[in-house]
Amino acid sequence: MTSKANNNLNWEIIIGLEVHAQVVSNSKLFSGMSTTYGGEPNTQVSYIDAAFPGMLPVINKFCIEQAVRTGLGLKAKINMESVFDRKNYFYADLPAGYQISQFENPIVGKGQVILDMPDGTIREIGITRLHLEQDAGKSIHDSNSANSYVDLNRAGIALMEIVSEPDMRSSEEAGLFLKKLRTILRYLGTCDGNMEQGSMRADVNVSVRRYGEELGTRCEIKNVNSIRFVQQAIEYESKRQIKEIELGNKIVQETRLFDPKNFETRPMRSKEESHDYRYFPDPDLLPLKLSQTWIDQISKSLPELPDDRKQRFCSEYGLSIYDSGLLVDDKETADFFEEVVLKRDPKLVANIVLGDFYGFLNKLGQNINNSRVSSKSLGELIDLISNKIISGRISKEVLEIMFQTGQSPKEIVEEKGLKQISNIDEIEKIVDTILDENIEKVNEFKNGKEKLFGFFVGQVMKKTEGKANPQLVNEILTKKLNKN
């Protein structure tokens, strides 16, 4: 085991990803059929989608716009003229016997994605290209039957294939890349990024080499549908390749599949016939020419992207890079934060949102849009803390009730009598009682056992059920304990 680990230090893993991202649009790329997920089989299929004789594709303008928007979000070159090609192959879920795609002239050229590494450094991953293409249908295989069943609902939905440069060097980087890409797509509203519904899938190209050597032969792991699986597939595949080479074997360039049950990759059984796709320009479509004016319009309509937003969170709100990063990772969280933070203390808001608020969301399996706590009511809760009506400690209890009942924090505080005790006389009385009850500990403290201070605070809090203003408690305790 150790020797293997040592060996791995000599090996560099080279990873490139091809991400298929389903475009958010009402209708399909070349037909006016709905793209809604999860319909009964073949109920969202037009004659075009099923490639009936004489049917012709007509392109969806919004899908083009989405591709351009994504390209701009990836700081990529938008190609003023691109071409739709036919990629010819036979498969059960490909009704026309060809997929309309873009081969030599994609709509988007080179771009980049910036990764924030956990150690605070930055990695730039190059984007080679982005092109538009049609999704295929779905074949369902029933192991008890000699048949497969074809559902074409998904056939013809617009996909963006986003191809990265082979710039990643670890499964961790690949994971960060996918997360970041997903974040960007969600910010742009061009893909919902739901990998479990298949609206984002990745083909993973993996090769290994000893440091300083030439690139090795790569294998492509097709259609991996979660970030975790991508990482597991890379782990397995890179180890497999290293082992093969160390055994003196050659890596065969091939297409493999990831088996999430056994965490391993295996060669595809159906050999994809020599990959002769016979691409040629689709004669049913004309070259796609874009105008600079239109691209500029789209560019102006772009939302603030996660990298920019993170910078702004640091400078405008004085948050740490780390907290800013966490907040902007998810557009909804960042939006929510900005709704709450108006006229409030940014650090306090960030702490509550990323701390207790997210804690409850996760615990209850809710998300920011369907929870009972709105930005408005969370803001009210934070105001109660800021105005010293309740203590931070009590706020967690209040928040929990808010999640359960949807009540406003004020109501809860009133109802349960959770208001903070900020009356000096009252706290002094309680402090006196505590000190009287613990005369021995007081003496120990006075003899130098200063860490007992916390004990006294705890006792006061216990007595007040956490409602005593902690700052006042501190002040009064300090004053009284240091007397004489």
121, 270, 293, 370: residue in contact with another protein (rule CB under 8 A): 270
Each residue 224-263 as x (binds another protein by CB under 8 A) or -, in order, gives ---------------------------------x------
> Nearer Cβ to another protein, position 151 or 330?
151
CA distance 385 to 396: 11
Q: Which stretch binds another protein (CB under 8 A): 94-102, 311-319, 371-379, 466-474?
A: 94-102
37, 62, 103, 453: residue in contact with another protein (rule CB under 8 A): 62
Which tokens sit at 145?
């039957």
Q: Does 54 bind another protein (CB under 8 A)?
A: yes
69, 86, 154, 396: residue in contact with another protein (rule CB under 8 A): 86
Strands 138-141 and 200-210 come out as: unpaired
Each residue 7-46 as x (binds another protein by CB under 8 A) or -, in order, gives ------------------xxx---xxxx-----xxxxxxx
Q: Which stretch binds another protein (CB under 8 A): 7-15, 82-90, 189-197, 471-479?
A: 82-90
Shortest distance, CB of residue 180 to another protein, whole angstroms? 27
The one-letter amino acid code at 294 reads W
15, 19, 63, 390: residue in contact with another protein (rule CB under 8 A): 63
| DSSP per-residue codes, 359-412 | HHHHHHT--TTTSS--HHHHHHHHHHHHTTSS-HHHHHHHHHHHHHH---HHHH
Size of the site for another protein (CB under 8 A): 66
> Nearer Cβ to another protein, position 12 or 65?
65
CA distance 476 to 425: 10
134 within 8 A of 157, measured Cβ to Cβ:
yes
CA distance 161 to 113: 15
Q: Does 301 bind another protein (CB under 8 A)?
A: no
453 within 8 A of 445, measured Cβ to Cβ:
yes
Each residue 110-149 as x (binds another protein by CB under 8 A) or -, in order, gives -----------------------------xxx---xxxxx
**Cα 359 to chain centroid, rounded:** 17
128 within 8 A of 110, measured Cβ to Cβ:
yes
The one-letter amino acid code at 145 reads S
Each residue 152-181 as x (binds another protein by CB under 8 A) or -, in order, gives x-----------------------------
Q: Does 98 bind another protein (CB under 8 A)?
A: yes
Return the closest-CA partner of residue 327 out of 347, 343, 301. Answer: 347
Which tokens sit at 156?
């013809």
> Nearer Cβ to another protein, position 32 or 318?
32
> Nearer Cβ to another protein, position 40 or 436?
40
Shortest distance, CB of residue 280 to another protein, whole angstroms? 6
8, 18, 59, 446: residue in contact with another protein (rule CB under 8 A): 59
Return the closest-CA partner of residue 129 out of 90, 91, 148, 103. Answer: 103
Strands 219-224 and 255-259 come out as: parallel
Q: Does 206 bind another protein (CB under 8 A)?
A: no
Interacting residues of 23 by C-beta distance below 8 A, sequence separation 6+ = 29, 63, 66, 67, 132, 157, 158, 159, 160, 190, 191
- How many CB atoms neighbour CB 277 within 10 A? 17
Shortest distance, CB of residue 72 to another protein, whole angstroms? 18
The length of the chain is 484
Q: Which stretch binds another protein (CB under 8 A): 269-277, 318-326, 391-399, 451-459?
A: 269-277
8, 75, 77, 88: residue in contact with another protein (rule CB under 8 A): 88
Residues 429-458 that bind another protein (CB under 8 A): none
Shortest distance, CB of residue 44 to another protein, whole angstroms? 7
User: Residues 82, 88, 94, CA angle at the centre, nearest 5°?
Assistant: 105
Q: Does 288 bind another protein (CB under 8 A)?
A: yes
Shortest distance, CB of residue 268 to another protein, whole angstroms? 6
Return the closest-CA partner of residue 481 out of 439, 425, 420. Answer: 439
13, 17, 19, 50: residue in contact with another protein (rule CB under 8 A): 50
Helix, strand, or coil (residue 331)? helix
> Nearer Cβ to another protein, position 147 or 197?
147
How distant, in Å, are the alpha carbons of 79, 286, 288, 299 from that of 293? 14, 20, 15, 10
Backbone φ, ψ for residue 455 (5° rounding):
-60, -45
135, 151, 307, 323: residue in contact with another protein (rule CB under 8 A): 151
80, 117, 215, 286: residue in contact with another protein (rule CB under 8 A): 286
Which tokens sit at 355?
């701390």
Interacting residue ranges for another protein, rule: CB under 8 A = 25-27, 31-34, 40-47, 50-64, 86, 88, 90, 92, 95-98, 139-141, 145-152, 257, 268-270, 273, 276, 278-281, 283-289
